A = this chain, B = another copy of it.
Amino acid sequence: MEKIKLLIVDDHRILVAGLKKLFENSATVQVTGIAFSGKECRSAIIKELPDVILLDINLPDVSGIDLCKEIKSRHPQIKIVALSSFNEYAIVRRILENGASGYVVKNAMPEEIKMSVEMAANNASFLCEEIDLLMRKHSKNPIWLTPREKELLKLIVDGFTNHEIAEKMFLGVETINSYRKNLLIKLGAKNTAILVRMALEEKLV
């Protein structure tokens, strides 16, 4: 059986060195390429046709989420494992929605990283322990805002008054008022301060 061809995409040079070392003596995985940016990643894919990509979602030139989507649409057979420092629900959810087979935080155990690559290659999905826990916790009380509500929330966070928002959204001030009150109830926020805080902390905008 052939070894799994792995492409590592991350601008953290030291981390990449660590990853290379991790797979150095692996019987199942072979690191066939390294890329430090989205651009390098694209050309590496064409050159090497990897089976799995370990993809940092914070690259200097492109959003990891967009890149993930792009890769999956062009090469659906390539499996992607997202690699990131963030353990935030919104980010994980978005990257999984965009075709990633796994998500591993950078301080995960080496075994978890190895595992994630092998699982991905076998068409299975994998989340490191920390993220798995996070997803379970959040799936209990998912905060789901309608597109319109998100739009409004963003404008509130940007500091516009109801009057200004009404103009921007081509709606009546009363409508904005209703929406706003609804948002407070929906998020259990007592006032604008809490609303803004939640929006920023939970990355709702």
Contact = CB atoms under 8 A, between A and B. Distances in A.
Interface of A: 11-19, 21-22, 85, 106-110, 113, 156-159, 161, 189-197, 200-201
Contacts of A161: 191
Contact of A159 (B18, B110, B156, B193): B193
Nearest to A160: B193
B106 A14 contact: yes
Given A85-B85, A191-B159, A191-B161, A13 B196 contact: no
A159 B197 CA distance: 9
- Majority secondary structure of chain A interface residues (helix, strand, loop or mixed): helix
Contacts of A158: 193-194
A113 B190 contact: no
A12 B106 contact: yes
A12 B107 contact: yes
B22 A17 contact: yes
B14 A190 contact: no
A197 B194 contact: no
A71 to B, nearest CB: 21
